[in-house]
Amino acid sequence: MLLYGQNMTIFGSSNWTTASATSQAEHNYFTTKNAIFQWFANQFDRMWNNDRAEETEPFVPLGPDEPSYRAPVNGSINSSSSAATLSWYGGPWAHNYDIYFGTNSSTQPKIASNVNLGPSASSKTLQTFTVSNLSPGTTYYWRVVSKTMAGLSASGDVWSFTTSGGVTGNLPSGWSHRDIGAVGEAGSASYGNGVFSVTGAGEDIWGTADALHYAYQSLTGDGHIIARVASVANVAAWTKAGVMIRGSLSANAAMAIMLVSPSKGTALQYRTSTGASAASIAGPVKTAPYWVKIVRSGNTITGSVSANGSTWTTVGTVTLNLGSTVQIGLAVSSHDSARLATATFDNVSR
């Protein structure tokens, strides 16, 4: 501010942060020194009148950095079944944050707006926001939008995590089961007399995201799963039942399934990385009962089929982008979100 009658300059600055913070202090300067007054007057006149043709573009404030997420790790299984703390690095310029959170991978509702968590003073200064009243065994998707005090924004990516405590029913120890993706109708799984029964709806195991019911165990490192698909309900030509490996329980996770269908035969179908489009390798045109097998060696996945469980035919070998720990088990998708399909599996071994 210039007070021409008093030849006074009043200059103030603020970084819109905590008052008198050691790294970002406010400054207020009152002076009647003529040199300073004249300098500010010259700057004001030049910019107002643009007499040097230097200001050719309107002033545009800089936006914030995109938030850099830290936890929960994308695609992870959260240790709690009822709450989770989201954390991210906001950078030096963001002050307010919008939090989007929900169970839909495509769109998440805004659950908090303009949460003033301030900027990050260093790379170790993180912003956090706790979400509670979560359901066990459920995949949640979250996104943060950072905003400056000038209202400019930058959106982070969508990350997901799954709460612990999925329903186990009467499955053997170490097994869990749950719906994955937008299934339409809730599925189920049970076990008795050496037979797994898995019931699932869902449009498909295909595209960039799956919809199915999954009975599964965790696998760290190399391993395999073998099962005989004893029966598959003929809900649709592409109703799918088979052994599966998934990088996570997210609908768009990297995965491979060695499947049997009612009328399309067998196939090794897979998604090489999170969110990628699925692909397929056709196997023999067989129906249940038929044996299927998935073998993991590092990130190399081999799918095989057999008529008797002893002589195997390799359908295909693919490379997936997987972490050290994956979920491996039995999958069913009816290929119709309005109808359930049941498949039974026996001779299941790991």
What is the mean predicted confidence (pLDDT) over 157-185? 82
Domains of the chain: 2-49 (no CATH), 68-162 (2.60.40.10), 167-349 (2.60.120.200)
Contact 331, 214 (CB under 8 A): yes
DSSP summary character for residue 22: T
DSSP summary character for residue 221: S
Examine the pLDDT at 140 and tell me if it is beyond 70: yes
Q: 159-182 burial by CB neighbour count: b if 16+ within 10 A, else e?
A: bbbbbbbbebeebeeebbbbbbbb
Quote the CA–CA distance of 274 and 281 in Å, as a whole number.
19
Phi, psi of 79 (to 5 degrees): -70, -25
300, two tokens: 């190399």
Taking only the tens place, the pLDDT of each residue in 182-222 is 999 889 999 988 899 999 999 999 999 999 999 999 999 99
Confirm whether pTM is higher than 0.85. no
β-pair partners for 87: 71, 128
Please report which helix (H) or strand (E) contains residue 96, including its range: strand 96-102
Q: What is the full DSSP assignment across 272-317?
A: SSTTPPPEEEE-----SSEEEEEEEETTEEEEEEESSSSS-EEEEE
Examine the pLDDT at 123 and tell me if it is beyond 70: yes
Quote the CA–CA distance of 209 and 266 in Å, as a whole number.
20
Taking only the tens place, the pLDDT of each residue in 5-42 is 887 777 665 555 444 444 445 556 678 888 878 877 87
Torsion of CA 147, 148, 153, 157, to 10 degrees: -50
Unique residue bearing structure tokens 């050691």? 22
Sign of the alpha-carbon torsion through 162, 321, 155, 88: positive
Contact 171, 138 (CB under 8 A): no
* Amino acid code (one letter) for 324: S
Which residue, among 282, 270, 205, has the nearest Cα to 236 in the 3D structure? 205
- In residues, how long is the chain? 350
For residue 289, cis peptide bond before it (omega within 30 degrees of 0): yes
Who has greater pLDDT, 52 or 254? 254
